[in-house]
A and B are shown apart, each in its own frame.
Chain A
């Protein structure tokens, strides 16, 4: 007889095919997870970077602004807006917009906030200018001891009892995020913050 004997029987081929079909989805999932994990790492890094930039920019440009600098301790306790405060709010909002623009290009749907917190011993913590109130997640509990000492005698808005917080909520969209959201899950976000 001249015809070649195959080393792999047709039955073995068939079972190999079926085994491959079982393995295929798992393989796809593993590869997908690998790719998404790297993307996620990038977004986490983006959150760190943008919150750092937002806090830095706001701190350098807006602190000590004379129009926003009340001259008496009484004015510090005002919560309602006054002309003095508006200059600082404008300044912070302008810096926030700059970084928000960067975030919109890198990860659409992200939110950057820049907020000024004053520690109020009665309320435990109060955000004075939370730039995006619904989103600010930084809650300043149990501040370090040196920070709030003699806060009443200060007349500068940016002083010992205040902290400037720059936060970034970076939206992470996966290939399946549409399905995920239909099912009712919240959009995945990476959060980071820097306080100055």
Chain B
């Protein structure tokens, strides 16, 4: 009997050495596989490094063009300078990662296109093979591989279109000299504010502000970016609107000349109404289809640059009737800006009665009330029709009977534009017979009772615009803080004797400056949007506090707050914010 092990032994049948031949073939294949693994990994890693280098170069190039404002000369940042900086950063990064650029012509290729403000960087690098080139493919009859492979990377960055609303305080204190005391506003004045400023060797604040605005506007591209000018004191008005994005022509850009002297024709007077400024700017952005335009492909954002030199001392309290002011402060909640809604009911195009609740923050600010120019004092236009004139039969209090009830934001704007003379202003410093005799100095109601509302209104306004794709930057103008300890700032702004002395905490909160937390943020309510119920998102969208019209629910956009103590700093901060706006728009 023979066992398996006795028969078919290769040695006995003259087949010795078979395994060795097999082994050599298989060895080549094994080496090839190992080489593939190792060199592919190496190539992948090198490509990663090169891509990083190229991305960094593109960002640095664009960033350089934005940041490098050579104050010593007036030369513009040129295409060459951008490309040079990108190239230098690319080379530094390549050195860092031990790559080497391949010697082919046009490598690296760096190009800045001024028309679209796009910087493109393309580079290829040669990577030596570690194992692949020494695998003996010739044994199998195949070609050897080259000594090195190459990897390529490409990056493209552009600065997106900037949409900026300049919301500027032109209240009474802006007439003061830019430095020194402000006697011209007191009974002890010996001359006008302009004379006092000249005597101090300074200019008036409004003039300094104008300089800052002119410098700011000069940093943007007049053919691509949109800028609006919204001065405010007790009311806000749009001096220079944003160009309408949906217009067929002329939908971008601005006219620099319109900004150069815009503020100097205004009278700095009256109170400071922060929230009117924000809402007016939002309304203008809405009209220009920058925000809430419901276009999923739209990625343009809105920026608000808010400037003030003092505390908020006015807000628009929504009153259904000028004489219906509450007697008790506890009734104030019923009437205040923040929670009141206006109900419209009327018939739509199908003759169906529909009811709409418009949250108060969308009540537009009327054009009928203008900021006083130097030749006329601030007066509301008493000839504007009152909303009550539309009461009556037909059930259409605000809408002309031949138009359907609007269900979009543009409709609301036009519907309510006529009625705003009926909404009163609250200025408790002065007694107005129109509002009854309870208000004013020495009366039962005083400034402190309402100041909380002015602050909260400003916070609400900034939270609102922030949640509709906006970022808020705030510049405050005031005397230097006594202490440089930024973690406990004293209050440097106007009305420091006021009981609610938290002005620069307010400004930090308005900007939502993440780096300058003062620890006082909890003093202000949070008016961010309500939660979305993940199980029923459609329902919670309509239930949300603010009747969302399609705002994106993303994390809040943090802005910046800067405190300027004199005119030079004011201009510098405006320029810094211009640079920052542009840098944040680099995509």
Chain A positions near chain B (C-beta within 8 angstroms): 5, 7, 9, 12, 41, 44-45, 48, 51-52, 55-56, 59-60, 63-67, 69, 71, 83, 86-87, 90-91, 94, 138, 143-144, 146-147, 153-156, 158-160, 163, 192-196
A147 contact set on B, CB distance < 8 A: 88, 92
Which one, A94, A159, A163, contacts B514 given CB within 8 A? Answer: A94
B25 to chain A, nearest CB (A): 22
A69 touches B68 (CB 8 A): no
A66 touches B67 (CB 8 A): no
- The answer to whether residues A196 and B89 also contact, given A48-B49, A64-B580, A69-B576 and a CB cut-off of 8 A, is yes
B583 on interface, CB distance cutoff 8 Å:
yes
List of 7 A-B pairs having minimum Cβ-Cβ separation, nearest first: A66-B576, A144-B88, A83-B484, A64-B579, A196-B60, A7-B4, A146-B88
B69 contact set on A, CB distance < 8 A: 156
Which one, B68, B569, B579, contacts A159 given CB within 8 A? Answer: B68
Residue picked from A12, A66, A153, most chain B C-beta under 10 Å: A66
- The answer to whether residues A64 and B67 also contact, given A7-B4, A48-B49 and a CB cut-off of 8 A, is yes
Which residues B566-586 have CB closer than 8 A to chain A? 569, 572-573, 576, 579-580, 583-584, 586
B84 on interface, CB distance cutoff 8 Å:
yes
13 A-B pairs in the complex with CB atoms less than 8 angstroms apart: A9-B5, A45-B48, A48-B48, A52-B55, A60-B63, A67-B562, A156-B68, A156-B69, A160-B64, A194-B53, A194-B93, A194-B96, A196-B60
Which residues B480-524 have CB closer than 8 A to chain A? 484, 486, 514-515
A73 to chain B, nearest CB (A): 10
B68 contact set on A, CB distance < 8 A: 156, 159-160
B576 touches A55 (CB 8 A): no
Q: Which residue of A lies closest to B72 (CB)?
A: A153
B227 on interface, CB distance cutoff 8 Å:
no
A163 touches B59 (CB 8 A): no
B67 contact set on A, CB distance < 8 A: 63-64, 156, 158-159
B96 contact set on A, CB distance < 8 A: 138, 193-195
Q: A45-B48, A66-B576, A86-B486 are in contact. List 14 more A-B contacts (CB 8 A).
A: A7-B3, A59-B59, A60-B586, A63-B63, A66-B573, A67-B562, A69-B576, A71-B572, A91-B515, A156-B68, A160-B64, A195-B56, A196-B56, A196-B60
- The answer to whether residues A48 and B3 also contact, given A59-B59, A64-B579, A194-B93 and a CB cut-off of 8 A, is no
Q: Which residue of B lies closest to A83 (CB)?
A: B484
CA distance A9 to B6 in the complex (A): 12
A116 to chain B, nearest CB (A): 13
- The answer to whether residues A41 and B41 also contact, given A64-B576, A91-B515, A156-B68 and a CB cut-off of 8 A, is yes
CA distance A59 to B562 in the complex (A): 19
B89 touches A195 (CB 8 A): yes
B1 touches A163 (CB 8 A): no
B23 contact set on A, CB distance < 8 A: none
B60 to chain A, nearest CB (A): 5
B127 to chain A, nearest CB (A): 15
Give the interface residue-count category, chain B: 35 or more
A63 contact set on B, CB distance < 8 A: 63, 67, 583
CA distance A30 to B553 in the complex (A): 50
B91 on interface, CB distance cutoff 8 Å:
yes
B52 on interface, CB distance cutoff 8 Å:
yes
B549 on interface, CB distance cutoff 8 Å:
no
Residue picked from B67, B69, B85, B87, most chain A C-beta under 10 Å: B67
B224 to chain A, nearest CB (A): 20
B93 touches A195 (CB 8 A): yes
A90 contact set on B, CB distance < 8 A: 515
CA distance A45 to B573 in the complex (A): 39
A48 contact set on B, CB distance < 8 A: 45, 48-49, 52
B104 contact set on A, CB distance < 8 A: none
CA distance A66 to B513 in the complex (A): 14
CA distance A158 to B579 in the complex (A): 12
B486 contact set on A, CB distance < 8 A: 83, 86-87
CA distance A159 to B59 in the complex (A): 14
B351 on interface, CB distance cutoff 8 Å:
no
A11 to chain B, nearest CB (A): 10
CA distance A5 to B6 in the complex (A): 13
B64 contact set on A, CB distance < 8 A: 160
- The answer to whether residues A65 and B41 also contact, given A5-B3, A156-B68, A195-B96 and a CB cut-off of 8 A, is no
Q: Which residue of B lies closest to A147 (CB)?
A: B88
CA distance A44 to B42 in the complex (A): 11
CA distance A193 to B446 in the complex (A): 60
A5 contact set on B, CB distance < 8 A: 1, 3
- The answer to whether residues A196 and B48 also contact, given A60-B583, A64-B579 and a CB cut-off of 8 A, is no
B71 on interface, CB distance cutoff 8 Å:
yes
Which one, A45, A155, A194, contacts B71 given CB within 8 A? Answer: A155
A69 contact set on B, CB distance < 8 A: 572, 576
Q: Which residue of A lies closest to B93 (CB)?
A: A195
CA distance A69 to B576 in the complex (A): 10
B502 to chain A, nearest CB (A): 21
Q: What 0/1 readout, one digit per residue, does chain B (300-342) give for beta carbons within 8 Å of chain A?
A: 0000000000000000000000000000000000000000000
A144 touches B91 (CB 8 A): yes
Q: What 0/1 readout, one digit per residue, does chain B (77-101) give for beta carbons within 8 Å of chain A?
A: 0000000110111011100110000
B52 contact set on A, CB distance < 8 A: 48, 51-52, 194
CA distance A5 to B59 in the complex (A): 78
CA distance A90 to B513 in the complex (A): 13
B3 touches A196 (CB 8 A): no
CA distance A160 to B68 in the complex (A): 8
Q: Which residue of A lies closest to B580 (CB)?
A: A64
B91 contact set on A, CB distance < 8 A: 144
B476 to chain A, nearest CB (A): 12
A27 to chain B, nearest CB (A): 16
A141 to chain B, nearest CB (A): 10
Q: Which residue of B lies closest to A143 (CB)?
A: B92
B41 to chain A, nearest CB (A): 6
B48 contact set on A, CB distance < 8 A: 45, 48
B557 to chain A, nearest CB (A): 12
- The answer to whether residues A60 and B576 also contact, given A91-B515, A194-B52, A194-B56 and a CB cut-off of 8 A, is no
A58 to chain B, nearest CB (A): 12
B583 touches A163 (CB 8 A): no
B45 touches A44 (CB 8 A): yes
B56 touches A52 (CB 8 A): yes
Q: Which residue of A lies closest to B97 (CB)?
A: A192
B55 touches A94 (CB 8 A): no
A146 contact set on B, CB distance < 8 A: 84-85, 87-88
Q: Which residue of A lies closest to B485 (CB)?
A: A83
